[in-house]
Copies of this chain bind each other. A is one copy, B any other.
């Protein structure tokens, strides 16, 4: 498949005016595709990765374990996201990355990536995309620090909804987010049982409906309101669902 770098290119192009030879260079990467099952590490804390891992399909997360088993998820990674750009700054991973659904990963050779980074437009694109990641991280800090349970959950759902919508993965207000309540709690800083109760309340207010990993949001504006969500920070262009696009094989129940 020649389109294997599709998502990555789309993402960079959203930030930087890539030239034809930049795109050429990206396509020229030869990357190994591997499949990772839910719950298994793509990279573990302490690893010194020799490859760069690029999410091709599925959903993964950055996470960190404290000694006593507490876990905090610090990012969701969706197709087009690079897992370990940070090797350029830390030779050892200071956190792990795990598949939240079955995930397809492309392994890019480190030296190939080095070459890519020589290209100013690509470096700039990555810089900008990292700046957006930062904006997302800031929102997560706000959720964990100052929003209460329902606001935080709503905000996360709004974020994921927006990101999914931007790549055409939302159909009629529904998209797949097959994560457990434990996972959810670990991303926001709550207990699974409190997540459970909060979700129940949200369902009973018809803010959301959940069905086998599909999340349905009947009235996104109302959810935005509750979350105090302002999509600006995601730097996404609004894009309606692309019905022609086949759904990913992964992420389905």
Complex: how many Å from CA A101 to CA B46? 37
Interface extent on A, as a size class? Answer: 35 or more
Contact between chains at A90 and B232 (CB < 8 Å) = yes
A146, chain B: closest CB distance, angstroms: 4
Residue A127 lies at the interface, judged by CB distance under 8 Å to chain B = yes
Neighbour of A130 across the interface among B15, B74, B119, B134, CB < 8 A: B134
A49, chain B: closest CB distance, angstroms: 14
Find chain B residues with CB under 8 A from A85 CB: 131
Neighbour of A131 across the interface among B62, B75, B130, B146, CB < 8 A: B130
Query: Is A176 an interface position by the 8 A CB rule?
Result: no
Bound together, the chains give a CA A214 to CA B127 distance in angstroms of 36
Once A145-B188, A228-B67, A232-B94 are accepted as A-B contacts, the answer to whether A124 and B134 lie under 8 Å apart by CB is: no
- The answer to whether B145 touches A86 (Cβ under 8 A) is no
Of the stretches A31-39, A136-144, A198-206, A240-248, the one at the interface is: A136-144
A90: which B residues are within 8 A, CB to CB?
Answer: 135, 232-233, 235
Also in contact, A145 and B89, with CB within 8 A (given A120-B123, A134-B133, A138-B62): no
Residues of B with C-beta under 8 A to A146: 66, 70-72, 186, 189
* A189→B235 contact, CB < 8 A: no
- A72: B residues at CB distance < 8 A: 141-142, 145-146
A230 lies within 8 A of chain B by Cβ: yes
Contact B235 A138 (CB under 8 A): no
Report yes or no: A92 in contact with B232, Cβ–Cβ below 8 A: yes
Q: Known pairs A90-B233, A126-B127, A137-B138; list 13 more (Cβ under 8 Å).
A: A62-B138, A70-B146, A71-B146, A72-B145, A72-B146, A117-B127, A120-B120, A140-B141, A141-B144, A144-B144, A144-B189, A145-B188, A146-B186
Interface residues of A (CB under 8 A from B): 15, 62, 64, 66-67, 70-72, 74-75, 85-86, 88-90, 92, 94-95, 117-120, 123-124, 126-128, 130-135, 137-138, 140-142, 144-147, 186, 188-189, 228, 230, 232-233, 235
